[in-house]
Amino acid sequence: VFPGVSKTVAVTGATAGRYDVTGATSAPVQLTFSLPANLAAAANLLPIGTWTGNHNTTLLPTGISFTPSAAPANAALSATGQLFVFIGATVTPAVNQPAGVYSAPVQMTVVYF
């Protein structure tokens, strides 16, 4: 990431976030996320502009697209009880963004319905 240049991590990229879910076979579930507005390095913040996601019953970063958020996204586990969820985002550093290692927690909740 370079100061002043937006950077996107695509859900199909090697550095995308990935969640592996296992549970009851073919069960419908809802996915919700607690997402940070910024990445942080000490007191420095790096704004996250948008989030993208998709889920699939095979370990491929393609599938059904959705926007990760606190609003539920419906999905279903496979016949073997698996679901794979991939997320990406876009960050927009300021032109004077300090260098550093930026991070923030992302929480996904899965609920049977």
- The pLDDT, as a whole number, for residue 105 is 97
Share of the chain above pLDDT 70, in %: 100
Q: What is the rounded distance in angstroms from the CA atom of residue 61 to the CA atom of residue 93?
A: 26
- The pLDDT, as a whole number, for residue 97 is 95
- The pLDDT, as a whole number, for residue 1 is 83
DSSP code at position 13 = S
Q: Is the pTM of this model over 0.85?
A: yes
- The pLDDT, as a whole number, for residue 76 is 98
Strand stretches in the chain, DSSP E = 7-9, 17-22, 28-34, 38-41, 44-56, 64-66, 73-76, 82-91, 107-112
Show the low-confidence residues of the chain (pLDDT under 70).
Answer: none
- The pLDDT, as a whole number, for residue 104 is 96
